[in-house]
C-alpha cells in the first residue's frame, strides 16, 4: 500500500545528506576564502580553523577552559533548577504570595539579563561565581514558570481521585504535584541547559580569566579571526553534545507522556 504523505528516505540516507550539508558549507567557505573573494583575514579559512582547533585539543590548553565553562553551566543549571522548583511550588501553593509578587516577577523576567553581568562581576569577582549567578537568573525563571504551571495544571479530578484513595498531603506532593511539575521542568530541559550555558559564556565573554567565552574574547581582542572561529567551533560541538545528552535523559524521564500529540510546553 502506498501512503499518501511523501515518504522520507531512510535514516542512514538522511544522515549522509546532513553530513553533505556540513561538507558543502566548509567547501564553499574554503573556495571563497581560497580565491580571496572573502578575505581570509576577516573570515579565516576552514583549514586554519580546523588546524587551530586540533592543535588546541592536542596541546590540552582547551580542556581547562572547557572544564571551567562546563562547571559554570552545571552549577547554574543545578542552582537555578532547585531554586526554581522551590519557589515555583511555594508560589503555586500560596495564592497570596503569587498575587503580590506577580508584577515583580514579570518585571525581573522582562529585564535583559546581560545588563546584570557587570553587577555580578562587581559583587562576585571575575571567578566562576559571577558567571554562575548570571546563568542562575536565566535558568531560574524558566524552571520557576514551568513548575508553577505544572502545579496549577494538575487535573482536579486526578487530585480528587488521589485524595479519595487516601493520599495525605505528603502523598499528594510526592505522587501528584511533583511528577506533574517535573514533567514541565523536563520538557523545558533543553531551554534551561541552553540558558545555563549562555549565562556562562556571556559572563566569561564580558570579563573573566578562563572559559570558552574568555578564549573567544581574547582572540577578538587581537583580531585573531581563526581563534574566534575555532572557539565558536568548540562551543558548537560542546553544545551539540550536551543537547544530545539532554535528549537521552528527557526520553528516559518522560516516557509516560504521549508523544507529539499535545504539542510542546515551553
Partner 1 sequence: MAEAAAAAPALQLEGVTCTFPSPDGRGRSYTAVQGASFTVADGEFVSIVGPTGSGKSTMLNVAAGLLKPSEGRALSFGQPVTGINPKAGYMFQAEALMPWKSALDNVAAGLEFRGVSKAEARERAMPWLSRVGLEGFGDRFPHQLSGGMRKRVALAQTLIVDPKIILMDEPFSALDVQTRQMMENELLDLWAADRKSVVFITHDLEEAIAMSDRVLVLSAGPGSRLIGEYRIDLDRPRDVAEIRMTPQFLALHQEIWAQLRDEVLKGYAQTKLR
Give the x-and-dash track for 121-160 against partner 1 (CB under 8 A): ----------------------------------x-xx-x
Which of 14, 100, 111, 168 contacts partner 1 by CB under 8 A?
Answer: 168
Asked whether position 183 contacts partner 1 by CB under 8 A, the answer is: yes
Sole binder of partner 1 in the list 25, 31, 171, 251 (CB under 8 A) = 171
Secondary structure (DSSP) of 35-57: TTSS-HHHH--HHHHHHHHHHHH
Phi, psi values for residue 35, rounded to 5°: -85, 5
CB-based contact 143:88 (threshold 8 Å): yes
Number of residues engaging partner 1 in binding (CB under 8 A): 22
| DSSP secondary structure string for all residues of 60-123 | SHHHHHHHHHHHHHHHHHHHHHHHHHHHHHHHHH-HHHHHHHHHHHHHHHHS-GGGGHHHHHHH
95 interacts with partner 1 by CB under 8 A:
no
Which grid cell sits at 11? 535514516
162 versus 233: smaller Cβ distance to partner 1: 162
Q: How far is the CB of 255 from partner 1 (least distance, A)?
A: 8
Is 7 or 170 the residue whose CB approaches partner 1 more closely? 170
Chain residues binding partner 1 by CB under 8 A are: 155, 157-158, 160-168, 171, 175-176, 179-180, 183, 255-258
Amino acid at each position: 500500500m502506498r501512503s499518501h504523505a511523501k515518504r522520507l528516505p531512510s535514516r542512514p540516507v538522511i544522515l549522509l545528506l546532513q553530513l553533505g550539508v556540513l561538507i558543502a558549507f566548509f567547501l564553499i567557505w574554503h573556495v571563497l576564502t581560497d580565491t580571496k573573494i572573502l578575505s581570509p583575514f576577516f573570515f579565516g579559512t576552514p583549514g586554519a580553523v580546523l588546524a587551530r582547533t586540533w592543535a588546541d585539543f592536542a596541546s590540552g590548553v582547551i580542556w581547562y577552559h572547557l572544564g571551567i565553562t562546563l562547571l559554570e553551566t552545571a552549577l547554574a543549571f543545578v542552582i537555578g533548577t532547585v531554586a526554581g522548583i522551590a519557589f515555583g511550588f511555594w508560589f503555586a501553593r500560596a495564592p497570596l504570595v503569587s498575587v503580590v509578587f506577580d508584577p515583580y516577577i514579570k518585571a525581573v523576567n522582562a529585564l535583559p539579563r546581560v545588563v546584570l553581568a557587570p553587577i555580578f562581576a562587581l559583587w562576585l569577582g571575575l571567578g566562576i561565581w559571577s558567571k554562575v549567578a548570571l546563568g542562575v537568573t536565566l535558568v531560574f525563571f524558566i524552571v520557576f514558570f514551568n513548575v508553577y504551571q505544572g502545579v496549577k495544571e494538575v487535573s482536579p479530578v486526578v487530585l480528587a481521585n488521589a485524595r479519595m484513595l487516601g493520599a495525605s498531603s505528603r502523598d499528594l506532593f510526592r505522587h501528584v504535584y511533583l511528577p506533574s511539575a517535573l514533567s514541565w521542568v523536563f520538557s523545558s530541559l533543553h531551554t534551561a541547559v541552553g540558558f545555563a550555558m549562555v549565562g556562562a559564556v556571556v559572563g566569561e565573554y564580558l570579563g573573566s580569566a578562563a572559559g570558552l567565552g574568555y578564549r573567544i574574547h581574547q582572540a577578538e581582542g587581537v583580531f585573531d579571526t581563526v581563534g574566534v572561529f575555532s572557539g565558536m567551533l568548540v562551543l558548537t560541538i560542546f553544545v551539540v553534545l550536551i543537547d544530545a545528552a539532554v535528549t537521552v535523559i528527557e526520553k528516559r524521564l518522560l516516557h509516560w507522556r504521549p508523544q507529539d500529540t499535545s504539542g510542546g510546553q515551553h
